[in-house]
């Protein structure tokens, strides 16, 4: 039986969580949230994106965030990139962990990145070389690994083919993303169990559009994933994927997996942090754990008493 407490959380609030909101948060606010999450024991964070600010305004100031974090903090932080040039520019600013993202489906890759999937795969060796040159880590992140908003279901063999491609072989991790939240647990478990990871870490990025976020994350762990993505309050979604709603809530993932760092006090701090953030960006929480923590079941230690 899988010990789910050994499954790590990467909180993606500051990138995938914020990118659909209509408000650009001050850099200082985002840095404070990053430090709150790190202090709570969240192992890894996604803190921003090299996407053009005119296309994804909430990602403006990502490199300013990088500039305020210490090298020790940056060791636990990831930045989204889509081209070798992104890697070079981010590395010059101090980034050491790069999430190189492309979509399995051509239609979404063209909408999201402006090129065919093959073009992104072909450019990855250069991106890997740029990351390794400064001693950094780089992930192969495959969006639309299950379904595409334009083309529908994605052939698992296409996913496996990109993961096995020699041009992606030197990536440190493989991230499989259920971009639309349409996958189901058996499907997720089977895909993770079937990809050839080559001893690379497997990561699941799930969305909770159809209510399967936590179940799919646990299924991914059953299939070999050791890290799962979530965002406070279930905030977020892809601006270039119609029908993609919020991420799986970090609060829900932590409550389900119960890592050693999680205590009722830590959970309460994260629930409050999520509430403050959601109020700032005028969004409603989708986290069932956050809702439960505010219930009147006061005999339950995980309920916030104030």
Q: Which residues lie below 8 Å from residue 54, measured CB to CB, with a gap of 6+?
A: none
77 belongs to the catalytic site: no
Q: What is the dihedral of CA 254, 138, 180, 237, to 10 degrees?
A: 70
User: What DSSP element (H or E) covers 256?
Assistant: helix 250-257
Question: Catalytic: which of 77, 101, 148, 238?
Answer: 238
Could you tell me what percentage of the chain is helix, strand and coil, using 3-state DSSP and rounding each to the nearest 5? 45, 15, 40
* C-alpha to C-alpha distance for 99 and 125, rounded to whole angstroms: 14
Which residues make Cβ contacts (< 8 Å) with residue 294, sequence separation at least 6?
271, 303, 304
Q: How far is CA 122 from CA 132, 201, 296, in A?
A: 17, 22, 55
| CB contact burial 160-171 (16+ within 10 A = b; e otherwise) | eebbeeebbebb
Tokens coding 176: 């499989």
Residue count of the chain, please give it: 306
Give me the active site residues, please. 238
């Amino acid at each position: 039986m899988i010990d789910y407490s050994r499954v790590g959380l990467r909180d993606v609030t500051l990138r995938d969580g914020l990118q659909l909101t209509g408000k650009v948060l001050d850099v200082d606010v985002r840095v404070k949230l990053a430090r709150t999450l790190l202090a709570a024991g969240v192992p890894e964070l996604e803190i921003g994106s090299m996407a053009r600010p005119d296309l994804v305004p909430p990602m403006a100031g990502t490199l300013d965030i990088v500039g305020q974090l210490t090298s020790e903090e940056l060791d636990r932080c990831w930045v989204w990139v889509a081209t070798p040039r992104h890697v070079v520019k981010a590395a010059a600013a101090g980034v050491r962990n790069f999430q190189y993202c492309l979509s399995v489906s051509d239609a979404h890759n063209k909408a999201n990145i402006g090129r065919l999937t093959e073009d992104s795969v072909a450019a990855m060796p250069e991106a890997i070389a740029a990351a390794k040159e400064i001693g950094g880590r780089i992930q192969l992140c495959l969006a639309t690994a299950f379904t595409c908003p334009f083309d529908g279901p994605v052939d698992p063999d296409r996913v496996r083919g990109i993961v096995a491609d020699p041009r992606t072989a030197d990536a440190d991790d493989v991230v499989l993303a259920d971009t639309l939240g349409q996958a189901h647990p058996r499907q997720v478990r089977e895909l993770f169990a079937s990809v050839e990871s080559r001893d690379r870490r497997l990561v699941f990025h799930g969305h909770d559009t159809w209510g399967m976020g936590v179940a799919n994350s646990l299924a991914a762990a059953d299939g070999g994933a050791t890290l799962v993505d979530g965002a406070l309050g279930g905030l977020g979604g892809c601006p270039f994927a119609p029908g993609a709603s919020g991420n799986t809530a970090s609060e829900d993932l932590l409550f389900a997996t119960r890592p050693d760092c999680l205590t009722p006090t830590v959970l309460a701090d994260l629930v409050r942090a999520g509430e403050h953030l959601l109020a700032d960006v005028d969004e409603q929480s989708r986290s069932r754990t956050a809702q439960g923590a505010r219930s009147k079941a006061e005999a339950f230690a995980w309920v916030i008493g104030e």
